[in-house]
Amino acid sequence: MVAKPLAVLVIDENRIRASIIEAGLREAGHDDVTLVHDVAGIARRIAEINPDVIVIDLENPNRDMLEDMFQLSRAVKRPIAMFVDRSDSASIEAAVDAGVSAYVVDGLKRERVKPILDMAVSRFNAFSRLSRELEEARSELEDRKLLDRAKGILMKSRGMSETEAYALLRKAAMNQNRKLSEIAQSLVTAAGLLGDDA
């Protein structure tokens, strides 16, 4: 007997992350995946979708409301419990670390759900990594722009060459045990306040 495919509902306000999870689930052969980005009217949606597994980001501020609904609402045809198995503490930890919470209808076999949770956890982690890298790249670019402006200010106001300006900033950073970008930021801010920013 072939088991009926599991219906998976992903509730995530972050559309990019939701798509990344959806892609992972589809690659793994789960075709019955629904994404919901907005919890308005969620009770009706859950009744329509009748999901076996619900994946939500841990930080969703509506989780208290959703959990209450899973336990009580007539919209939910079958009671929904959390996670795969309370006794599987390694899975639970991995999920919470990654920022995933998953809810599963009662009585569903652990081995059927575990791969879905694992998939969600690894995709959440991948997404966090991606966001972090993007953020780092963005701040690196901004640091470089800031440094260029600080050098420009010194070159103009003190008649320095670019090399001299850079050396002065570096020396200040080393003396004050601060990052070069922080020194540059202070200088740009100060120049802005004094109104002589070029």
Partner 1 sequence: MTDARFEISAGFLPLLDSALLVAAREKGFAAAEGIELTLVRETSWASIRDRLAVGHFQVAHMLGPMPIACNLGLTPLAATTVVPMALGLGGNAVTVSNALWREMVGHGASGDLSPGAAGNALRGVVADRARAGAAPLRFAVVHPYSGHNYELRYWLAACGIDPDRDIEIVILPPPLMADALGSGALDGFCAGEPWNTAAVMLGHGRIVTVKAKIWRSSPEKVLGADARWAEANPDALAALLRAIHHAAQWCASPANRTELAGIMSAAAYVGRPAGWMSPALSGHLGTSTDSSVVVEDFFVPQARAATFPWKSHALWFYSQMVRWGQAGHSPENAAIARETYRPDLYRAALKPLGAALPGANAKVEGALPVPTPVGSAGASLVLGPDGFFDGGLFDPDDLDGYIAAQRVLGG
Judged by beta carbon, residue 104 or residue 153, the one nearer partner 1 is 104
The least distance separating partner 1 from the CB of residue 66, rounded to whole angstroms, comes to 8
Query: Would you count residue 65 as binding partner 1 (CB under 8 A)?
Result: yes
Candidate list 97, 140, 162, 196; residue touching partner 1; CB under 8 A: 97
Per the CB < 8 A criterion, the answer to whether 121 and 102 are in contact is no
Query: Would you count residue 92 as binding partner 1 (CB under 8 A)?
Result: yes
Query: Would you count residue 83 as binding partner 1 (CB under 8 A)?
Result: yes
As a whole number of Å, the end-to-end CA separation of the chain is 76
Tell me which stretch binds partner 1 (CB under 8 A): 20-28, 30-38, 58-66, 106-114. Answer: 58-66
The least distance separating partner 1 from the CB of residue 99, rounded to whole angstroms, comes to 9
Can you give 146-187 as a three-state secondary structure string? HHHHHHHHHHHHHCCCHHHHHHHHHHHHHHHCCCHHHHHHHH
- 167-196 positions binding partner 1, by CB under 8 A: none
Query: Would you count residue 67 as binding partner 1 (CB under 8 A)?
Result: yes
Cα–Cα distance, 119 to 114 (Å, whole number): 9
CA distances, 30 to each of 34, 103, 166 (Å): 11, 17, 56
| Structure tokens, 74 | 């007539």
Candidate list 16, 28, 47, 96; residue touching partner 1; CB under 8 A: 96
The least distance separating partner 1 from the CB of residue 118, rounded to whole angstroms, comes to 16
Candidate list 27, 64, 106, 111; residue touching partner 1; CB under 8 A: 64
Query: Would you count residue 111 as binding partner 1 (CB under 8 A)?
Result: no
Candidate list 81, 126, 155, 168; residue touching partner 1; CB under 8 A: 81
CA angle 108, 111, 117 (to 5 degrees): 85
Side chain identity, residue 144: R
Cα–Cα distance, 36 to 91 (Å, whole number): 24
Cα–Cα distance, 165 to 147 (Å, whole number): 10
The contact set with partner 1 (CB under 8 A) reads 58-65, 67-69, 71-72, 81-83, 86, 89, 92-93, 96-97, 101, 103
